[in-house]
Amino acid sequence: MRNLWTKAGVLGSMSAAFGSMLWSQKQAESEQVASGCTAAQTSPSSPYKLKLVQVLFRHGARTPLKSIPGVTEVQWSPTLLEPPAHTHIDYEVTDLHGGPRPPSPVEDSYRKNVLNGGSFPGQLTTLGMQQLYELGKKLRRRYVEETQFLSSTFTPAEVYVRSTNIVRTIESAKCLVAGLFLQKQTETVPIFTTGAESEILYPNYHACKLLKVLVSHRWAESSTLPDIAADMQSIKKALGIAAHQHMDFILIRDDMVARETHGLRCPSVLETWRTKVEQRAVDMIYHVYAQDSSTETLQLCVGPLLHSLIANIDEKLEGTSPDRKLFLYSAHDTTLIPCLMALGIYDMKWPPFAADITLELHQHRETNKPFVKVSYVGKDQLLPGCSGVYCPLEEFKKALSAHSIHPEAYHSLCNSKEGLAEP
């Protein structure tokens, strides 16, 4: 899709359709490669029997969160956000107990600003909806058509859908379910979410005081690292932006990728910076989450989420949730990056839209011993500390033990006076 960068005037629904076509072609090619091994791994002749699937995924393509200061904006028309008919399902957003949807201060903050063209920042686009629909279809092929693991129609007892309380992740979850079950449902699809004060599906700086202290320090530090600071000075000069104007590579990348994905115009001067922007954005976020001698930052970022994923496995093995077969978690790039780091499989690349981390629980047919298989964007991963791709559960738990944390211990650590007193 790099050739889209220099094509001017490709706006509106035509560009979205073109971007969708290119994306679908790439998706189809990758799935042809991946599907051949999936069926073999989960066939009746396999020594492993699939018991539970958990999918943590990033939302689809969206409008930028902010525009690059001083760079000509493109038209983010509301027509780029129209839902395709095949993504419609009957769904309801509730809190974790089935009550009314909580307030969403994060979403409210987006709605205070309007992008050039009339849409809001951070909104799922038509292309993004299609990406999640395609991810749902991929999961359907794997777990409905090839293995008959899931029913062909949505059933609440079988499938649990959880999302952050932000419109783009809620809509992404809806589109994935539409693709997974081809809009077939006997009941309304509940999408569970929670208030900002108790969210564990992203690093929660507002609810965890210690995490805010740690991350704020490392975030400020990341912009002053010699290579990052020098490159930022150069790109500002190339764009004609004043040296004192605040900007960082993650912001630049966000706007550039949003334009690129939708086939929208971008200043040609940025084309020569594309690879460097990507590298420096990753360098920055890695510095924010990276560990030196301590595991504390990652533990506070995703520890409660990892604990929840392990708890789901334990409950399945104990038989306390016999009907549950699939957990879907709709989240963000800032969820996947620290999760990949905690798993020891981060590839130093920014997770693409609709990227997924999938955890499969298997039992050996002869020994009944449990194994966990992890994949990232469709590719099986060998975790550090695991003796094989099918990782014995005890090895999997040990591999995550440094970062998984019980909710009570998490809250205690977040508000510890000793931790908050550290520089």
Q: Residue 5's pLDDT band (boundaries 50, 70, 90)?
A: very low
Are the CB atoms for 358 and 374 separated by under 8 Å?
yes
Query: Tokens standing for 252?
Result: 């630049």
Find where tokens 């708890």 sit. 311
Q: What confidence tens digit (pLDDT) does each residue in 334-357 have?
A: 999 999 999 999 999 999 999 999
Query: Tokens standing for 279?
Result: 């590298």
Q: Residue 244's pLDDT band (boundaries 50, 70, 90)?
A: confident
Query: Tokens standing for 121?
Result: 């920042």
Q: What confidence tens digit (pLDDT) does each residue in 395-421 have?
A: 999 999 999 999 999 999 998 855 555
pLDDT for residue 271:
86
Count Cβ neighbours within 10 Å for each residue of 91-119 and write b for 16 or more, e otherwise: bebeeeeeeebbebebbeebeeeebebeb
Q: Residue 13, SS3?
A: helix
Percent of the chain with pLDDT over 70: 87
Query: Tokens standing for 232?
Result: 């930022």
Listed residue (201, 199, 212) closest to 413, CA to CA: 212
Q: Is the pLDDT of residue 367 over 60?
A: yes
Q: What is the mean pLDDT of residues 33-56?
A: 71
Going by their DSSP bridges, the two strands 391-392 and 370-376 should be labelled as antiparallel
CATH level 3 topology of 16-204+292-413: Rossmann fold (3.40.50)
Are the CB atoms for 336 and 355 separated by under 8 Å?
yes
- Partners of residue 94 on adjacent β-strands: 100, 192
Are the CB atoms for 175 and 136 separated by under 8 Å?
yes
Task: Say whether 362 is catalytic.
Answer: no
Q: Is the pLDDT of residue 114 over 70?
A: yes
Contacts of 91 (CB under 8 A, 6+ apart): 174, 177, 188, 189, 190, 191
Q: Residue 22's pLDDT band (boundaries 50, 70, 90)?
A: very low
Catalytic residue among 333, 364, 380, 411: 333
Q: What is the mean pLDDT of residues 155-179?
A: 98
- Return the half-sphere exposure (C-beta side, CA atoms, 13 A cut-off) of residue 141: 15
Q: Residue 358's pLDDT band (boundaries 50, 70, 90)?
A: very high
- Partners of residue 364 on adjacent β-strands: 48
Number of neighbouring beta carbons within 10 Å of residue 209: 17
- Domains in the chain: boundaries: 16-204+292-413, 212-289
Q: What confidence tens digit (pLDDT) does each residue in 57-91 have?
A: 999 999 999 988 878 889 999 999 999 999 999 99
Task: Say whether 59 is catalytic.
Answer: yes
End-to-end CA distance of the chain: 44
| Residue 333 burial class via C-beta count within 10 angstroms: exposed 0-12, middle 13-18, buried 19 and up | middle
Are the CB atoms for 5 and 15 separated by under 8 Å?
no
Listed residue (233, 254, 235) closest to 244, CA to CA: 233
